């Protein structure tokens, strides 16, 4: 019990990081392996084309978001390259928000907002609280 009391912050950070990693991983897994990136591109292409956005930007954005979510999710679950991963996932959230804002200006943020909160939380907490990660074991 004393160990839990002494390390409750590290446990809280671990839970938040793994939870966020799972959210991103399953989103990326679905886009890459179930929906397929071609279908992700096709889903957004008409809306973007009507707004004057070139197809190559839709293709780049779809590949970027799908693979950053998939690989970033795995890295977060493992606690590997955490700060780089969180920054890429933050950029991913900006790209996704712009895309949804273009297609539907009043879009539902319920899926993006929790990810944003957890991403920012994990970026601003002190590194010393993140004891349960591969980064901590490899770098200390």
This prediction's pTM: 0.93
| Cα separation, 28 vs 42, whole angstroms | 17
At a CB cut-off of 8 Å and minimum separation 6, what does 32 contact? 66, 67, 70
Condensed to tens digits (0 to 9), the pLDDT of residues 58-114 reads: 999 999 999 999 999 999 999 999 999 999 999 999 999 999 998 888 888 888 999
Are the C-beta atoms of 41 and 59 separated by less than 8 Å? yes
In the prediction, which pLDDT does 3 show? 77
The pLDDT value given to residue 4: 77
Query: Residue 111 has what DSSP assignment?
Result: T
Domain housing 62: 2-139
Count of structural domains within the chain: 1
Instruction: Provide the 8-state DSSP code for 7.
Output: T
């Amino acid at each position: 019990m004393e160990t839990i009391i002494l390390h409750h912050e590290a446990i809280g950070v671990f839970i938040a990081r793994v939870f966020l990693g799972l959210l991103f991983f399953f989103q990326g897994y679905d886009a890459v392996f179930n929906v397929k990136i071609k279908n992700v591109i096709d889903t957004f292409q008409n809306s973007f084309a009507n707004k004057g956005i070139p197809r190559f930007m839709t293709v780049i954005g779809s590949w970027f978001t799908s693979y950053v979510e998939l690989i970033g999710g795995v890295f977060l679950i493992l606690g590997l390259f955490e700060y780089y991963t969180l920054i890429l996932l933050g950029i991913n959230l900006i790209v996704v928000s712009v895309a949804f804002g273009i297609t539907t200006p009043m879009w539902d943020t319920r899926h993006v907002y929790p990810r944003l909160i957890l991403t920012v939380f994990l970026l601003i907490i002190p590194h010393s609280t993140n004891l349960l990660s591969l980064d901590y074991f490899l770098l200390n």
